[in-house]
Every structure is written in C-alpha cells, then in structure tokens.
Structure 1
Amino acid sequence: MTRGKQAEKTVNRHINRFHYTIDQAIDKPFNWKQLVRLLSYLKPYAFTLLPAAMLAMMASTSVRLAAPIIIGVYTVDHAIKDKNTDLLITLVVIIGILYLISYVGNALRIRWVNHLGQNVIFDLRRHLFSHVQRLSHRFFDSRSAGSILVRIMNDINSLQELFTNGIINLLMDVLTLTGILVILFILSPKLTLAIMVIIPIMFLISTKLRKNIRRSWQGVRIQQSRLNSHLNESIQGIRVTQSFSQEKENTAYFDGVNTDNFESWRIATRKSAMFRPFVEMSNAIGTAILIWYGAHLIQTEDISTGVFVSFAFYLGMFWDPISRLGQIYNQLLMAMASSERIFEFLDEKPNVEERKGAIDLEHVRGHIQFDQVTFSYDEKRTALDGISLEMKPGQTVALVGHTGSGKTTIANLVSRFYDPTAGKVLVDGHDLRDIKLDSLRQNISIVLQDTFIFSGTIMENIRFGRPDATDEEVIEAAKLVGAHDFIQRLANGYETEVEERGNILSVGERQLLSFARALLADPKILILDEATASIDTETEVKIQKAMKKLLKGRTSIVIAHRLSTIRDSDNIIVLDHGKIIEQGTHDELMGKKGEYYKLVKAQFQMLDAM
C-alpha cells in the first residue's frame, strides 16, 4: 500500500468514527433540567447585576412600546388632524425625551449584561478547571489533552453569547411581543387577528427546524474537539513527525479533520440561516394583510388613520423580536450542545475519592505496607497480583524488574493515584482510603523520568514543590542536587525564563530541576521513578552523593533500570508480572544467584559489550 493510500485510509477511518459519534449524540431530547442547571450560575448575581440589567431592559422596552401610541394616536389623530401646533411641539419633545431614556437604558443594559455574562463565564470556567484538576488519573488515561482543552475553552466560550446577550434579550423580546399583542388587541381586535393568522403557521414550521439545527451544532462541537485534539497532538509530537518525514501524511490527516470541521460549520450555519428569511417572509405577509385589511377598516371607520400608523410601527417592532428569538434559539441550541459536554466532565466522579471522615496525616513516619494488594488498569491485564510488602520508616527500597512487572504501579498506589482492586495500602497503619488526599500527597514527592517543567522562571519551577519557600531555600535545594552551577551559567540565573516545557534546557538539566523541586518540598516519602535515566554518569554521581544525605530520615522508593544506582538500598524488591519473586539487600540477592543476580550480570555484560 502506498503512503498516499495509507493516509487516505486513515482519514476515512476518522470520518467513519465521526459519523458514528454524531449518531450517538443527536438522539437526546432537549434537556430542560440541563438548561436550569446552566442558568443556576446566575445565582451569585441574582441581587446585584441581574436585577440592574433587567430594570434597564424594562425601562427601555416600556419607552419603545409607548412611542408608537404617541406618534400614531396622539400625534396623527389629534395634533396633526386638529392642526394643534402647541400639542405637536409638546409631543415631539416628549418623544425625544422618551428616546433619550431608551438610549440611556440600552447603554446601561448592555454594560451590565456584559459584566454579568463575563462573570458567569469566569465562574463556569474556573469551576470546570478546578473539577478537572481533582479527577483521577483514569480520567486522563482515556482522554487526550486536546479534547479536555476544547471543553474548558471552546465549549465555555460558546456560552458567552448566551449569557452576555441571549438571556436578557430573550426576556426583552418576550416582554416586547407580549406588550405589542396587548396594545394591538386594545387598538383593534379585528386587525390584530387578521395579522396574527400567520403566527401559528410560522410556529409549526419553525418547530420542524429545531431538531436538525440542534444536531448540526452538536456535530460542530464534536468536530472542534477532534480538530483541537489533533492539533495538540501534532504540535507536541512535531519532533517525531519531522524525524520520520511524516509531514505529508500528517497534513493529509489534518486536511481530513479540518474538512470535517469546515463541513460541520457550513451545514450548521446554513440550517440556522433558514430561520431569518422565513421570518422576513412572514413579515412581508403580515404587512400585506395590514395594508389591505387596514385600508378597508379605515374606509369603514372601524379604525382611525392614527391607529393604522401605530399598527404599522408595532408590526415593524413585532417581527424584529421574532427574528431575534430565532437567533436566540440558535444560541440556545449551541449552548445546549456545549453544556452537554461541559456537564459530562462536571458529572465525572473521581475514581479515587475521599471517604467521609477522612483524617489528616500528622507526624508522618513513612511506614508503608501493602496487604494482599491486587490491581488492574483494565480487565485484560493484572498489574499487581496479591502482593504484600513492608517499607519501614527511613528505609530506601528499590523496585526492580522487567518492563511491565508492576514497579510504577506500586508507586502510583502509594501516591493514591489509583486504588487497589483488592487488598489495601497503608501508611503509618492507616488505609490510604481513610486519609485526606491533600494530607497524603503533601508528604510525598515524586521525580519522574519524563520531567515536566512549567513556563516561568527557574526559581518558580523549583518553588512549585513548596510555594512558601524562601529564595535561599530554593537555592540550597538546587545546590544539594548539583543544579546550582548550570543555573548560574544561564543568562539571568534563577530568574531565567525557561519557556513552555523547559525547551531551553537539556533533558538532564530539566531532571535536576525536578530533583530540586521534590527535595524542596521536604517530603516524608520520596519516590524516584527512573529519575536518573536521563542524566549523564558524571551528574548521576553528584546526585548519588547528595542523595545519601537527603534520603536520610525519609522512606524512599527508587525505581531504576540502572542497577548500579540501587546497590546501597536497604531492601531491593524484585518483581515479575505483578508478583514479588525475591527481596533483600544487594549482597543477599547476589548471594542467592536468582533473578536479581541474572539482571545485574546481564546489565554488566551489556556494558562490557558496548
């Protein structure tokens, strides 16, 4: 198969997945409870911004409703008909004052409504981000970073128009339509009924459009999620893409995703755009009825010319809110499509939850026990199979074994990123499920092989381990792990901006910063997961010297493929397929000539061969 055909096949697979996802998403009915839940974010402003905006809206709407009566009935039927100049001047002044009041009311409404909407969007985004941060690792295992970003950014942004304009405009238009209908029926019931005959027909046709429009906007949200996920993945993996010369294939895949996104927007906007011409057609029919039947009523003296003029004004005012209601309905459909996705995340419960009455860890010693622990990441494979082990306070325990033997899983369970499928993990005699998560993790520091450096300065990145640390404490931690020298050589020392993911630093330098960050936190339990894998031998020697002092008094779990780094460990646990096959000190295990002995020999033979 050629590379071009392979890329086309990949894109087609994506398109098929996309259509399946939409079919699953569109069958849900309109969720009124979800709308009420969305509007609940207005509660904090129910006695401040919301009533102020509504008061301004009611003032401007009342003025607009009063103006046609003054223009038609009073100006035409009295001032002009009776040639009363004084009354005409008075009415012109009154109309000018009313429009000035309307202008001020609208200005205040727009200001307060935008303030209200931005506050609601801020609160919702903060709530979602805070919630996502507390979710368990299983949540992130099954979702790409791009799809999560779409929910927090794009989906919440799509609610902005609803909260800044939609809700108040909806109330304003409903109030305007109600007021117009009441006034028209008072002026002439016959002419009103004749004009409004088009409304039931318009309502029936518009309801037919709702499901299709809603489906279309759901498709837009799903496609945006896929597009952002692919963009995030492509940018993060650009070095791999370029190293394998896969730019063309990646571009072809992007073209497929981008085309799907373009088509979803085109379809959604086309269907949404059908509403306004339909309203304008209804307006034209209503105007024709007004002219024809209104002229007849004037001739039969059932209405006056002034009433006819007022009707003309009100009819023009009537169809604008109808048209806006269609736009608001589209906004509402977009908001529902987005809110479904937002609330899906907000309803996600952490797999790792605190029990009621969970305790704070006090005077932590770091005594860790595994009691018949079994764990599976999924139903297909068991990561740990009924293991029991003990790590005494202050001990350095090394975990060794082939890839997939369960070493990192043990570290994950100690940090309670996951809960055991069976059995229990204890710290100082307490089941981890009975301990508050923050209390547990504040006493644990982890250094991973894949170091993450945040945008900011060197000082800020090290201080991430303990935000209240002084500059002197940060520098001391850097010195202890051997990072101080290379930091001093940087342009601005500890105030050097490291950019996203620490791109200006080498892999080894990033690793040293993560050591300093972990040690600054002064944990009672320290986990080093392949932490020296990316560091050269000379730097590793410096770290090993510092570690002898720093690991003293702490329970330390060291996972390493370089077996030379764990010779001095108090206990070495050898794992294989989730089971402990042997444990002891380096000398004891070498004397047994078991699996550990084979691993050490194999590693030294490999080094000799190099």
Structure 2
Amino acid sequence: MASKALQLDKIKSDKRKKVTIVQAFKTIIWPRRNLVFVGLVLIVLSRLAGLVLPLQSKTLLDEVVPSNDLGQLWTLLAIVLGAIVVQATTSFLLTRILSVQAQYLISELRAQVQKKVLSLPISFFDNTKSGALVSRIMSDVEGVRNLIGTGLVQLVGGTFTAIISLVLLINMNALMTAFVFIPVAIFGFVALKAFKYIRPIFRKRGVINAEVTGRLTETLSGIRVIKGFNAEDQENKSFEEGVERLFQNVKKSLTATALMTSSSTFLLGLASTGIMGIGGYFMMGGTMTTGEFLSFTLLLGFMIAPIVQMSNIGSQLTEALAGLDRTQELMNMEPEQDDRLRPERLDALEGELRFDKVNFAYEEGKAVLHDIDFNAPKGSVTALVGSSGSGKSTIAGLAASFLTPESGTVWVDGKDLSKVNLNSYRQHLGVVLQDDFLFEGTIRENILFPRPNASEEQLLAAVKAAYVNEFTDRFEDGLDTLIGERGVKLSGGQRQRIAIARAILADPKVIILDEATSNLDTESEALIQKSLAALVKDRTTFVIAHRLSTIRQADQILVIENGRIAERGDHDDLLEKKGRYFDLYTYQARI
C-alpha cells in the first residue's frame, strides 16, 4: 500500500507539475518586492544612461563639429562621462543587491526542500535513491537565481529599453523603424515557440541528472563490493550510459538555443542591411543627416540588443521554472506527520504496546502481515524470530511508527499510534539496527547524536555500558578518533557497540533491536549481552534475532512465519511444544 500511496502522490503531483510565472511571482518575487523594485529602478537608470551616447552622437556630428565649439564639446563629453559613471554604479549595485539576494534565496529553498524531504515517510526513501534526492535538493533550486536575481530585472529592463528606443526610432524615421520591426516580430515568434519546446527538455534534464547522480553515489558508497567482484567495467558502462543520456538532452536544448541565435543573427542582420540601404538613400537625398543616421543606428542596437538578450534570459527563466516544477513535486507530497491526522501527543510514555489484528502490505494485494495480535507490556522484552522474509522487520517497523497498518491498530499506552504525534512518540524511541548507520566524524559525535547536550558523565557511562572503551582506550585519539564515512575504519563489532552506546545514551522507553549482536564475535557478544541486559531493563523492547541463543531471557517469543504468529511463549514453553521454534533452536545448536 505504501508504494500505491507513492504512485497516487506522483499522479497528484503530475497534475500540478507546471509552475507558472504567476505562481513564481506570488511565491518568490512578490515577498521580495522591495528589493525587486530597487533593482528595477537601478536598471531603468542604467538603461536611460545608456541612451545618452546615441543621442549625443547626433549632437556631436550635426552641431558641435560643424560649429567648432570646444566648450560645447567639453559639455557633451561631461554628459557622456556622467552617463557612463551612472551605468557602472548601477551595474555594481544590481549585482551586489540582487545577485546576493538570489543566492540567499537558493540557500533558503535548499533548506526548505531538505526539511520537507526529511518529513516524508520511510516508504518514500525505500523507493527513491539518496543520490537522486541530493541532486533535487542541491540542483533543482539553482535556477531561481534568474527569477529574483538580475535575470528577471534585466528582462524587464530590456523590455523598457526596447520600448523607449522604439519610440525614439519612430520619432526619427517611421519608415526605417517599420522595416526593422518586421524581422524583430518574426524573431519574437520563433523565440516563443522555442521556449515552449525547451521547457520539457530542461525538466527531463533534472530527472536524468538526479538518476545519474544517484547511481554515482551508490557506486562510490559500494566501492568495496565493486572492487571485490571486479565489477568496475560494468559500473563504468552504467555511468557512461547515464552521461550519454544527459548529453543527448543537453544537445536538444542547445539545438533549440542555436536556432534562436541563428534566427536572430539572420533576421536582425537582414534588418541592418536594409537600414544601411534605406539610410544611405535618405542621406544621398538630403532628407537625413549623418548624425541622424548614426544616432538611429546606435538606438537600433539599443532596441535589438535587449531583444536578443531576452532570448537568453528567457531560456534561463524556462530552466528556472522547470527546476521549480520538480521542487514543487516534493513540496506537494504529504508529510509523515500530519497534525490533522496525528493530533494526539504523548507528554510521557509508559511503554505498553499492543497489536490488535494488524494487517500490512507494501503493495496492494501482496499482504506481508495477517492478523498480528499480541501485547507487549511495559518493560517487557518481546523477541521476534522466524525465517527471512517472514515479517519480523515489518512488525518492528510498525512498532517504531515507520509504517502504518493497512487495517487493525497498534496501540501505545492505550492510544492509536496512527493518531499519535510522531515527534512526541519517537523522542522515547531507540533503535539499534543490524547494519546501523554511523555518520562521518568522531566516535564521540556519533554516540552524542541523539543527545548532543549530554554531559561528559552521561557520555562516559554509555561508553562504559556498551564496552566502547574496550577498544577506544587503545586508540591514540580515544573517543575523538575519526571513523570515516559510515564508520569504515572500524570493525563490524566496534560499529555495533557504538550504535548500542548511542541507544543507551538516548535513554528511550521503547527499544527496537534488529540483530543487535549479529556483527560481534563470541567475546564481544558476551560483553554486549551484559550491556543489553542493562539497556532493556524497565524498557519495552522488541528484539529481532536469528541467533536464538541471545533471546533465551525474553519475556515472550513470537515465531513469525508467512506473516502470521505461528507460535508464542517463552523459551522453555516453546521448546516443550517441539514446534517450529524447537526445530530452529535445535538446528542452530547442532551448527
């Protein structure tokens, strides 16, 4: 059912996947309207200052030079120099204000998307590559710099400049302006068509990039397996195929961009050629001065340049919206904690859990658990045993609130766990997994992970209880020893003891132990069994165990087969029944 829920989420997301410029304006631009307004003022000043040179060029050729007026020449140069200073100053301020704000927005969005991703249910992560999520968090939001940064402002400023230039050109010579306007209009039509074609390409690029990044992350994480099986060639081939798909996608967008560029070059070049002919004809006829022609030509550049620039900015905005499409998919997903569906809070936890006719399926029609019904009293130890794939980890996942029953109820202290606020429950939860995850950093940082503000005495007590000091005392840096990514510099048993110390320091009321001693040698296991005995005291504990010798003292043992409770009782009772547990235990004893 979890995967079906994901599919439904995807369908809902697909229905609203396209972010319009209006939505982007409301959510991104409007909240920062003051900064954007300042940017618009600056770019208008910059563009108005830019018009000074073409207008003063006419004055220079038609008035100053013929009259040999040096005073007027100095005045003209001062005006042009002042305009250049204004352009330089506004350009600096635009970059300083808007570009910095754009980068701040990117960091803000990344934080929001990461926060959203961490709020999603475990089932989402089971179906999504971590590398792909990294790409979506880090890359998809990059394009927004063109919305709040200089991109959008330049688009507006370019439009303003083009309109002002068009008015001045019409005032100078309406016939020549009309001749130019036709190819410019054709170019605008081609550009709009190209943007419509490019946006799905940019969107697909984000998907491909996430897939390639995800595979690369897996490859680097599993480097020992790859080298151990001499599988470098097949990994290289897989990555090359992904890179090739990315290249083909980029090639499509470059083709569309090249079409716009070549269209602008041809059409605007055609217009320039026509202007030379018409202008030459008018100058030979005496109806246009040299200064007017030069001024017209320069103003024409001021009208055309923003239009060409707008095509590039349009591509950037299209890419930004495509990235926001994918970001919105994540942001629209339902979080694991929904205050409307989970209003109950557990201010204190006794730790009594009860499964009441619980059924669960990861996929519709493929039930994993059937009518699971048992009670785990406060402070008791419940062991889950059975063959691989029988449903033990699923029961533990339900007890940890990682999963929600398809039907039936998991009760905690008499409250329906599916209606309990997850934070209020999980603050009392501790987990020690078979392949427990350690973060890159020091041993100290990993043990302190659940309680960063724990005292040194509490830390050392947890270290001693889990016998971590048995090996850290031999390290030069002790607890401050760097352990590498995922604790790669430590043995399996050492990693497991750190994970147990972390759980002891968390001081939970409910503990999930999934093969907590599986990675330990016989000597270490004996030590850990002592620390686990202290850990589980007065705490409700669920133990998943294949090594049945580790659960002899459990209050109740549930034998899970094919998603059902086949047998239940304590160790001695189950041996007397000579059923499935007896078979498993005697088989292991012979081994």
TM-score, L = length of structure 1: 0.90
Give the Cα separation in 2 of the matches to 1:29 and 1:584. 53
Unaligned runs of 5+ in 1: 1-23
CA displacement 1:313-341 (0-9 Å, x = unmatched): 11122222122111112212322332222
Question: Which residue number corresponds to residue 126 of structure 1?
Answer: 111
Question: Which residue number corresponds to residue 50 of structure 1?
Answer: 36
Question: Which residue number corresponds to residue 37 of structure 1?
Answer: 24
Question: Which residue number corresponds to residue 356 of structure 2?
Answer: 371
Distance 1:302 1:433, change over 3 A: farther
Kindly indicate whether residue 37 of structure 2 is the aligned counterpart of residue 64 of structure 1.
no
SS of aligned partner of 1:197? helix
Q: Is the 8 A contact 1:354 1:433 kept in 2?
A: no
Distance 1:188 1:29, change over 3 A: farther
Q: Is the 8 A contact 1:50 1:116 kept in 2?
A: no
Kindly indicate whether residue 256 of structure 2 is the aligned counterpart of residue 271 of structure 1.
yes
SS of aligned partner of 2:473? helix
Equivalent residue letter for 2:555: D
277-286 vs 493-502, which deviates more? Answer: 277-286
Distance 1:42 1:487, change over 3 A: farther
Shift of 1:349: 1.6
Q: Out of 199, 202, 216, which is 2:184 matched to?
A: 199
Equivalent residue letter for 2:48: S
Shift of 1:162: 5.2
Question: Which residue number corresponds to residue 288 of structure 1?
Answer: 273
1:168-317 aligned at under 5 Å gives the runs 168-300=153-285, 302-317=287-302
Shift of 1:231: 1.1
430-439 vs 187-196, which deviates more? Answer: 187-196
Question: Which residue number corresponds to residue 544 of structure 2?
Answer: 559
SS of aligned partner of 1:196? helix
Kindly indicate whether residue 131 of structure 2 is the aligned counterpart of residue 140 of structure 1.
no
Q: Is the 8 A contact 1:35 1:336 kept in 2?
A: no
1:350-365 aligned at under 5 Å gives the runs 350=335, 353-355=338-340, 358-365=343-350
188-197 vs 428-437, which deviates more? Answer: 188-197
Q: Out of 83, 102, 113, which is 2:98 matched to?
A: 113
Question: Which residue number corresponds to residue 5 of structure 1?
Answer: none
Unaligned runs of 5+ in 2: 1-10
Give the Cα separation in 2 of the matches to 1:586 and 1:578. 21
Shift of 1:51: 3.1
Shift of 1:215: 4.1
CA displacement 1:185-208 (0-9 Å, x = unmatched): 233323221221212222233334
SS of aligned partner of 1:59? helix
1:479-558 aligned at under 5 Å gives the runs 479-558=464-543
Give the Cα separation in 1 of the matches to 2:496 and 2:477. 20
SS of aligned partner of 1:315? helix
Give the Cα separation in 1 of the matches to 2:208 and 2:503. 40
330-339 vs 552-561, which deviates more? Answer: 330-339
- Greater RCO structure (CA 8 Å; 6+ sep): 2
Equivalent residue letter for 1:349: E
Distance 1:115 1:266, change over 3 A: same
Equivalent residue letter for 2:525: E
Distance 1:468 1:360, change over 3 A: farther
Distance 1:497 1:320, change over 3 A: same
Kindly indicate whether residue 417 of structure 2 is the aligned counterpart of residue 432 of structure 1.
yes
Kindly indicate whether residue 431 of structure 2 is the aligned counterpart of residue 446 of structure 1.
yes
CA displacement 1:261-308 (0-9 Å, x = unmatched): 223223322331232232122222222222222233345555443332
CA displacement 1:206-229 (0-9 Å, x = unmatched): 334334433443443333223212
Shift of 1:562: 0.9
Shift of 1:378: 0.8
Q: Is the 8 A contact 2:142 2:320 kept in 1?
A: no
SS of aligned partner of 2:375? strand
Equivalent residue letter for 1:534: N
Distance 1:209 1:51, change over 3 A: closer
Equivalent residue letter for 2:40: M
Q: Is the 8 A contact 1:371 1:388 kept in 2?
A: yes
Give the Cα separation in 2 of the matches to 1:227 and 1:362. 44
Q: Is the 8 A contact 2:143 2:321 kept in 1?
A: no
Q: Is the 8 A contact 1:359 1:436 kept in 2?
A: yes
Q: Out of 334, 348, 356, which is 1:349 matched to?
A: 334
Give the Cα separation in 2 of the matches to 1:165 and 1:149. 27
Q: Out of 373, 377, 383, which is 1:398 matched to?
A: 383
370-379 vs 488-497, which deviates more? Answer: 488-497
Q: Is the 8 A contact 2:558 2:568 kept in 1?
A: yes
Question: Which residue number corresponds to residue 137 of structure 2?
Answer: 152
TM-score, L = length of structure 2: 0.93
57-66 vs 441-450, which deviates more? Answer: 57-66
Q: Out of 44, 52, 61, which is 1:76 matched to?
A: 61
Question: Which residue number corresponds to residue 11 of structure 1?
Answer: none
Give the Cα separation in 2 of the matches to 1:488 and 1:39. 59
Equivalent residue letter for 1:41: I
Distance 1:41 1:497, change over 3 A: farther
Aligned-residue identity in percent: 33
Q: Is the 8 A contact 1:352 1:418 kept in 2?
A: no
Distance 1:374 1:354, change over 3 A: farther
Question: Which residue number corresponds to residue 316 of structure 2?
Answer: 331
Equivalent residue letter for 2:526: V
Shift of 1:55: 2.7
